[in-house]
Amino acid sequence: MKELICISCPAGCRLEAEALENGEIRVSGNSCKRGLDFAMAEMTRPMRSLCSTVRTAFGDFPMLPVRTDREIPKSAIPEAMKLISGIVVEERIACGDVVSSLAPICEGNLIATSSGLISF
């Protein structure tokens, strides 16, 4: 039995998840489907979204906020942070534009979450 706090929304439901002998996972305490999915993933392959900043070549906006465009395996976060710390953005890209692929670490892309490089 594992006690979990659901991170899907601000409600923060307290969940209990149990791996049964037949391989099934029993979840209780959730108040919606997202809570169920979250608990299942926590018991098998925990996933997280990752938000950070990357350096830019522009003095007027030195740090560009970024996030992964999907949840990535929690275990991939340290490698993803290494990738992020090496990036320097040299074009004036907009909010939503792809900054980098996350390959070969995991699936997905890093996207910009601000248009600070193109507007004021």
Partner 1 sequence: MTDKYDVAVIGGGPAGLAAAIAAERAGARVLLIEREARLGGILKQCVHDGFGLVRFGEKLAGPEYAERFLTQLRGTGVEVTPQTFVDEISPLKGPRADRVPPPTGFQLKLVSAKGMRNVRAKSVILATGCRERTARQVAIHGTRPAGIFTAGSAQYYTNILGQLPAKRCVILGSGDIGLIMARRLTLEGARVLGVYEAKPIPSGLPRNIAQCLHDFDIPLHLSKTVTRVFGHARLEAVEISDVDGVMRPIPGTQERVACDALILSVGLIPENELAEALGVALHPVTKGPVCDQNGMTSVPGVFSCGNAAHVNDLVDYVSESGETAGRAAAHYAMNNSQFTMNHYASLSVDDSFLYAMPQRIHLREPVDEITVFFRSREERGKTRFTARLGNEMILNKNYRQLRPPEMERLTVPLEGAELKPGDVIALEMEEMA
Kindly list the residues in this chain that would bind partner 1 in the complex (CB under 8 A).
4-10, 12, 14, 48-53, 55, 62-63, 65-67, 74, 77, 81, 95-96, 113-116, 119-120
Q: Choose between 22 and 28: whose C-beta lies nearer to partner 1.
A: 28
Residues recorded for the chain: 120
CB of 77 to partner 1, least distance (A): 8
Q: Choose between 24 and 97: whose C-beta lies nearer to partner 1.
A: 97
Contact 84, 29 (CB under 8 A): no
Q: Choose between 21 and 49: whose C-beta lies nearer to partner 1.
A: 49
CA distance 120 to 115: 8
CB of 26 to partner 1, least distance (A): 20
Contact 86, 53 (CB under 8 A): no
CB of 18 to partner 1, least distance (A): 18
Beta bridge partners of 63: 55
